[in-house]
Amino acid sequence: MKYINFKWSLLISMAIYTFGSCKSDLEIVPIELQTLEQVFDTKDSAGVNANRFLSDCYRFLPETGNRVGGDFLDAGTDDALSSNPTNTSVQQLALGTYTADSYPDNLWSSFYQGIRKANIFIKNIDRVPLKGQLQNGTPLKRVWKAEARFLRAMFYFELLKRHGGIPLLGDQVYQLDDDIELPRNSFEQCVEYIVQECEEIKDSLRVDPFDLPMYGRPTKAAALALKSRLLLYAASPLFNGENVDGQNPFTGYSAFSADRWQLAETAAKQVIDLKLFRLEPEFKDVFITRNRERIFSKQGGNNTNVENNNGPIGYAAGVNNGRTSPTQEFVDCFGMANGLEITDPNAGYDENDPYVARDKRFYASVFYDGAMWLSRPVQTFEGGADKPGGSRQQTKTGYYLRKFMGDFESAVNYSNVNHDHILFRYAEILLSYAEARNERLESPDQGVYQAIESIRQRAGLLPYELPAGLTKAEMREVIHRERRKELAFEEHRFYDVRRWRKAEVEFNKDLHAAVIYRTSTGAIRQPVAVLKMNFEEKMYLAPIPFNEVIKNPKMEQNPGW
């Protein structure tokens, strides 16, 4: 029996493909059947149609923001809740109430469509007599083919981090009459394949990541950043030594190897050694300006989408749907401006005035009661303008998401802000380097300290230096906390806690709100549990979509599903 659903995952791009201003026959005829000669025109030295085809491959790149049923993926972690009063898709992730047939972040079909489209491009671009080259002499045709291979590698990584080993198609472009009941490749084979692709294409890609006319196209740095993230995952406990299913080759390696941490460290160092990137002086500017911290982004344009979706609800300016409610747990993970955790008796933390003198990243990430926005203080006390009660969607925790928004503290209206989907940035590379090096060594050395302290220094911590003589385990906890604060709502927490094999603790707990009452003598704050997360071991990996398994006898399901 043919495997119909997996076939459609791979072949859906054979359906109608629109070229915008191209001829109508290109808009209505399946590409492989009648339009390949037109798309990959043997007389088109400018490669106009081929470039449009390649550009369409970028459409399948992952996005960030309110993308999981209208919510941030991080609202499925201990960092936030969806403010939506109904049982949302992302709440199902937090509660573990999904099945193999209803996984809320199922992008299997989308990524395989992207893989197939990239393969079509790779197979056919040599037919185009494309002229031109980069300043370093690299032929443009080679650059475009490398871009398609990077996109394909990116799609495979996104599948791998969700599901473990997945079917690798190579350069094969399957046709409608092909039998494509394909088995999964092992986790190890997938890692080796993606690493090899990154290595083979890195010197064929563009070099300058700040070339604005080509902004959004992958560079050598993007290929190295993808390899760095992949190898960090591969070295982590979930896949390296604590495989959820022992000897199952799809769910990880069969045995631990410290060498994998060395590979991850080296990969991150390769990006650092390019000396192209730096930490942007102001943390919040990273997300609203195109700057030298960004390594690779999917273009999102200039708009007010983040503000409209997530801004506090009581303002007349903008839409302000208040969709994201950061938790008290997330707020408490931010220490003080003096670099100490709020639990440290020397930190100077005041429970009666909890938002004073905190880590600057807190102010750039969270709206709290009293924070300035659109020329007035945010009011998240009970009955306040931004927490009025009733049936209207509003914060469930006393907090709203601030990160990714423009500088509208003293404005009266929103204006367009850059909201690209940042897929790789330099701060992540430094954190990955520190983590991998710390895990490889017996105890952290100056290299580990320097990488983490540079992140803390940019955050404005004084002193930013860490105590000398930290043990490997102590530094590990520092690194984990810094990743949580620095990379919040960038779709890392959901997977970091899993790859660290800590989800059965971190994602199996009550999440809390700060309920605030205003009285004549001041504010009264009470922590109140608002959601009990649930995590089971099988949730370390997402299920293979039910339709893929039920109709393909060679497609093995992940453990527990």
Provide the pLDDT for residue 176: 63
Residue 143, pLDDT score: 97
- In this prediction, residue 177 carries a pLDDT of 63
Query: What residue ranges in 70-223 does DSSP mark as E strands?
Result: 80-82
pLDDT band, very low/low/confident/very high, at 4 (cuts 50, 70, 90)? very low
Q: How many CB atoms lie within 10 A of CB 343?
A: 9
The pLDDT value recorded for residue 207 is: 92
Cβ–Cβ contacts within 10 Å for residue 481, how many?
15
Q: What is the mean pLDDT of residues 39-45?
A: 92
* % of the chain at pLDDT higher than 70: 93
How many angstroms separate the CA atoms of 357 and 101, rounded? 47
Q: Are 295 and 430 in contact (CB under 8 A)?
A: no
Average pLDDT over residues 300-312: 97
User: What tens digit of pLDDT does each residue of 475-484 get?
Assistant: 999 999 999 9
Q: How confident is the model at residue 30 (pLDDT cuts 50, 70, 90)?
A: very low
pLDDT above 90 covers a percentage of the chain that reads 88
Q: What is the pLDDT of residue 7?
A: 46
Q: Beta strand pairing status for 372-373 and 400-401? A: unpaired
- What pLDDT score was predicted for residue 23? 36
| pLDDT > 70? residue 398 | yes
Q: Report CA 199 to chain centroid distance, whole Å.
A: 22
Mean pLDDT for all residues in the chain: 93
pLDDT in tens, 252-281: 999 999 999 999 999 999 999 999 999 999
Asked whether the predicted pLDDT for residue 19 surpasses 60, the reply is no
pLDDT at 6: 47
Instruction: Show the 3-state SS of 235-265.
Output: HCCCCCCCCCCCCCCCCCCCCCCCHHHHHHH
DSSP state of 32: I
Residues 6+ apart with CB under 8 A from 385: 314, 315, 379
**Mean local confidence (pLDDT), 93-107:** 97
Kindly indicate the confidence band of residue 180, based on its pLDDT and cuts at 50, 70 and 90. Answer: confident
pLDDT in tens, 345-396: 999 999 999 999 999 999 999 999 999 999 999 999 999 999 999 999 999 9
pLDDT-derived band at 179 (thresholds 50, 70, 90) equals low
Report strand pairing: 417-418 vs 400-401: unpaired
- Tell me the β-bridge partners of 387: 384
Tell me if 135 sits within 8 A of 160, measured CB to CB. no
Query: How many C-beta neighbours within 10 Å does residue 472 have?
Result: 14
pTM reported for the whole predicted model: 0.94
pLDDT tens digit sequence for 274-300: 999 999 999 999 999 999 999 999 999
b/e string for 530-550 if b means 16 or more Cβ within 10 A? bbebebeebbbbbbbbbbbbe
In angstroms, the CA 215 to CA 424 distance is: 14
The two structure tokens encoding residue 298: 């999917």
Choose among 255, 264, 262: nearest CA to 232: 264
Mean pLDDT for 132-147 is 95
Taking the C-alpha atoms of residue 364 and residue 487, their distance in angstroms, rounded to an integer, is 12
The answer to whether 209 and 148 are in contact (CB under 8 A) is: no
Q: Is 418 helix (H, G, I), strand (E, B) or coil?
A: strand
Question: Which residue carries 């600057």 as its tokens?
Answer: 360
